[in-house]
Structure 1
Amino acid sequence: MTAFQEHMRRAGERALEALPVPLRPEIYVISFRIWRHDSLDWRHPYLAIGYNTESEVRRVLAAQGDSASDPGEVRWSYAYWPPDETAGIVGHGPEPADDPVGAALHLAEIKELGLWYEDFDGPGDDRADDDTAEEEDDEEQEARNDLLIAHFDDACVDLARHLHTSGKLTEVLGRAVPILPFDMYRAEELDRLAEEANPPEVIADYHSWARAQEG
């Protein structure tokens, strides 16, 4: 296990411990929102940990009245989840004080793995006017970004699995609930990440809804 993985696991455990005690019986999903300090800068990702409750689902449906959306969509689509992610932020959060240790560990790890890159075509790049060089830079940056995305996804999935297998999730909530990682820029990855992050039986209800949407 790397130092960054270990940090993620400890931070995730603290996030679960920070869940409001009165709401714990109502929590039916833990949300793992993957984002970046700058939305398209894949070098500086962070994980915002949140949750949703049965009461919130009922509130949203009641507020919609006769025009209520599909209850499954309100329950499982992150678009309806409250933006309360005070449980924890891990990595390069929007504020410098969010997780400076995690940010530093992540940066050190991606540099050690050779995934880091400086901005391409920046000041002083004497190839900036060379179309061929620019195209090569774009391809190289895209390839690095794909690796950076996969690296952070793996770290988030590892954390979710740890919270399940360590028993921490059951210890805090009294039962297993789905942990759903999602990136609003990569909605097509949601099902894959859900499968990798959870035991099959825990996400059976989510999968039933997701498959129905595909039909």
Structure 2
Amino acid sequence: MEPFAEHLYERLAEGLLLAERPRLQDAYVLSLYVDFDDGPHRMKLWLYYNTPDHLQQAISQGEEPGEARWYFALWEPEFVTAVGLSRQECDRLADPESHRLLARWLRRQGLYRSPEEIAALLEDAERYDAWETAARRALLNLVTGVARRLQESGVILARFGRPVPLLVHQWDYDDWCLEATRLVNPPGLIAEFEQWWWHEWCCE
């Protein structure tokens, strides 16, 4: 596997297998949130989960059941693990190697931009948007492959002893989210999520 993708996979797999979260073993769903808040050149990945207990708590507090079940912002407040964080964000999970490998990967794709080049791009919204869109698209494809490997390698099965669906998404659950999540999971595993997605997101 490509070095950057291999690094992402190893960090996520290790984080999932070694995570000490009291309720994680009860999880009925995982999600891999692809975070571009700081730009594609500083992409971060966050692995979240939810449990039946927290789901019922959210519903009892007035959340709509489908939203509480499937939308990660309403899930257990603690993430499982994360990749690409700086020391300032989380010393325990600091990951400078991810930044180095991401820069090398972007160079190979012809998408690397230096800090000075990014600053210049920010002064031209059209040029910045074109670069950001291309970089995001390439990274989302790479992340989909990493997430699929988490399922196919048996890491998730080893952690939980049963199949658990893995959603892949940005902040919004857009069309890419549905297609990527379909690619990542075995047939039938995300049937309930798909039904909810079509009802809540397909026309937005």
> TM bucket by the smaller chain?
0.7 to 0.9
Match of 1:101 in 2: 97
Distance 1:89 1:25, change over 3 A: closer
Answer yes or no: is the 8 Å Cα contact 1:27–1:53 preserved in 2: yes
1:28–1:53 Cα contact (<8 Å) kept = yes
Q: Which residue of 2 aligns with 1:50?
A: 48
Displacement of 1:112 after TM fit? 2.4
Q: Which ranges in structure 1 are unaligned for 5 or more consecutive residues?
A: 126-133
Distance, in Å, in 2 between the alignment partners of 1:121 and 1:100 is 20
Which protein is bigger by CA-based radius of gyration? 1
| Alignment match, 2:81 | 88
Structure 1 position 6 matched with structure 2 position 6? yes
Contact 2:29 2:166 in 1 (8 A): yes
TM-aligned CA deviation for residue 53 of structure 1: 0.9
Aligned ranges 1:194-209 → 2 under 5 Å: 194-209=181-196
- Provide closer, same or farther for how the CA distance between residues 51 and 209 of structure 1 changes in structure 2, counting only shifts above 3 A: same
For residues 67-107 of structure 1, what are the alpha-carbon distances to aligned partners after superposition, in whole Å with 9 as ceiling and x for unaligned? x333121100123123312x221125563742111121111
Are residues 1:75 and 2:69 paired? Answer: yes
Rounded to whole Å, the distance in 2 between the matches of 1:121 and 1:151 is 18
Provide the TM-score with structure 1 as the length reference.
Answer: 0.80
In the superposition, relative to structure 1, how do residues 143 and 78 fare at CA in structure 2: closer, same or farther (>3 Å)?
Answer: same
- Residue 212 (structure 1) aligned with residue 199 (structure 2): yes
Instruction: Give the corresponding residue for 2:142.
Output: 155
8 Å Cα contact 1:29/1:53 also seen in 2 = yes
Distance 1:81 1:24, change over 3 A: closer
The CA distance in 2 between the partners of 1:117 and 1:104, in whole Å, is 13
User: TM-score with structure 2 length normalisation?
Assistant: 0.83
- Count, aligned residues: 197
Structure-2 change in CA distance of 1:58 and 1:70 (3 Å): same
- Evaluate the alpha carbon distance shift between residue 108 and residue 210 of structure 1 in structure 2; reply closer, same or farther with a 3 A threshold: same
C-alpha distance in structure 2 between counterparts of 1:90 and 1:151, whole Å: 18
| 1:116–1:144 CA contact under 8 A, matched in 2 | no
- Asked whether the 8 Å contact 1:179–1:198 carries over to 2, the reply is yes
CA distances 1:39-83 after superposition (whole Å, capped 9, x unpaired):
252221110112111111011122x2xxx3331211001231233
Report the secondary structure of 1:51's partner residue.
strand
- The gaps in structure 2 that reach 5 residues or longer are none
